[in-house]
Structure 1
Amino acid sequence: MLAANALSTTGDMLSLLAVPWFVLDTTGSAALTGLAAFAMTFPIVISAAFGGTLVDWLGFRVTSVLSDLVSGLLVLAPPMLFLTGGLSYPLLLVLLFLRWMASTPGETARKAMLPDLAALAGMPIERASAAYDGVYRGSAMVGAPLAGVLILWLGPSLPLFVDGVTFLLSALLVAGGVPRVARRERERRGYLDGLRAGLAFLWRDRLQLSATAMIVVVNLLDTGVTQVLLALYARDVVGDPRAFGLLTGAVGAGAVAGSVVYGAVGSRLPMRLTYGLCFLLAGVPRVLVLALNAPFSVAMAVTALSGFAAGAINPILAILQYGRIPVRLRARVIGAMTAAAYAGMPMGGLLAGTLSTLTGLGTTLLAFTVVYVLISVPPFVLRTWRELDSGHPADT
């Protein structure tokens, strides 16, 4: 399952870089390129929010295989149609929208089946969730430079072919290598009732609701930092565009290392305190050091350490979800949380760009630092976060 997810994630990164370049290369329009990017991100929110119920209905393993098969065919269609002269821009947008609509349930399903497979393998859930997150982050790190190399050498069409192949291989791995888990009795309620049940559960669980709210805000801030503020810092402070890539890479490399370390020692750490400290350190220092105009070498070191702290966040969130969400609701609740996490991201770049234009880069970085501090407070002060250490089991 981890190998299948690695292939799928690598393919996603190929598409995320190749499609904008493909559109810009064939149309020459930045506006059309932006519209294509929207067609790749917006369906993730829709599919994550409304597809989780279907994942619970069909079953995790079946959904993963079907999602990858359909996504593989959809992602192969644009380059094949382009080579035969049958690809129009509106058709490309439709195919992109459908491709990301189809692939999101597969990712939800693989995440939802993780505790069952960990139990079959006799692996502690801390190690399994850290391995899942580490493989995801590592694949994203590999996929981005690989896409750049393939685009440079062979043009933007080839990465889309490779993406399609990765989906088909992922489906084959899950179908042939992932064992079936015990079948659960399917609910007799309709789709809308099932969807409402998942949302109602999330609303009642104050701990997971608080965790989701924190992730929504931090994803918004992280998007603004990554898409706008780091680029401005590299241009205006360092004077070298390579600083942008180095700082972005330092976060990713640190996060991979952090997930590996958490997988090794996480079961011996207090979850609430670990999560609170890692959440605080993942955001505040790396933005504050930029606001203070520290030397670039210091900024790189602090950024890598912040990335290291971030490596424990997703595994702990996964443990929280697996321990509290009933199995029959797992995919739809995880899907709702994923949709919420993505929902604020499109606003992050707009907020960062607007604030930096009005107030300047330094002031914007300080403002982001303050918000990072405030959103990191709940695990330390809210009583509901004490439940993170209580280990309440989920219903079956």
Structure 2
Amino acid sequence: MMRVMDAPARTPADIRRWRRYLAAERAEAAVYRDLASRRSGEEREILLALAAAEKRHEQHWLDLLGDDVGMPLQGDVRTRFLAFLARRFGGVFVLALVQRAEARSVYGREEHATARMAADEQIHEEVVRSLATRGRNRLSGTFRAAVFGANDGLVSNLALVLGVGASGVATGTVLVTGVAGLLAGALSMGAGEFISVRSQRELLEASNPDPETARALPDLDVDANELALVYRARGMDAGDAQQRADLVLSRLAATGVTEGIDADAEAAAGDDLETHGTAWGAAISSFCFFASGAIVPVLPYLLGLEGMTAVVVASVLVGVCLAVTGAVTGLLSGTSPVSRALRQLVIGFGAAAVTYGLGLAFGTTVA
């Protein structure tokens, strides 16, 4: 049972602050309940337990406020936005935002909050981080391909368009160059992903045990038991390998079942194959991700803009896209979206500035 603090001397500022804390706890509990409603099993139980903890914190502020509780307040803008997202989406993106919200707890500096409440908030951050990690692991491959492909398209085609445009060639030439860069880059990305994933799957498939090997088990020398060498080659130490090999052979002698030599290796290889996906799926997604980014710098020229106007509009559009992808990356990774957005902008515009400068140096001024 949480110990209620002795009634402290209170000021109007204290009461206002406690009422804000009370509203925040109620809103956060609602977020966890909404997230739990979209899940089942263990994740649902964990989220409901977090909601119950926020309810205990709510009671702490109710006890302190007493007759000064007043009319219910709304949570802050961030928490209300989280509640909106939790009711409608509830995926890893929302969990990442909740993780950041828990990290911003001020209870460690609030004299009227108990040490237990401050510790709860720290633990809540780790719980939500662990839940979000499950989702991050599920989408890590796709997300990496999306960010890499889209940013590659944005930066490379902006650099190409600005470099050619700065040389003073006709707008039509810049447009054709941009479209050619889009197609060439997207096809190259798709082909590269196809070859990469296909090669990786072939390597993993080559690691699968030969099913014919199990048929040789009944003829093994039980005393020598060379099956232990298989397990040692897979990384077991000599003692564990011998114990595992003896178990497999004893099971074979008792039941006639030959499975066991390849089960673990096949399961591990199967997980890796599932993680890497299909070669065609990777190729198509990479093509689309690159093309979605590479079309952005070309849009002003497709709309008939020319010269410096087209350059500025293309740069602004690409800058917005880079900032958005950087911010999303930051949110999903639990870090600052602002710093990640700025990093994307610096890298992207740095590459574009180099090619633009080369275009100016070796060509004419922009028309």
| TM-score range for the pair, normalised by the shorter chain length | under 0.3
| The structure with more helix, counted as a fraction of residues | 1
Query: TM-score, normalized by length of structure 2?
Result: 0.23
Query: TM-score, normalized by length of structure 1?
Result: 0.22
Larger Rg: 2
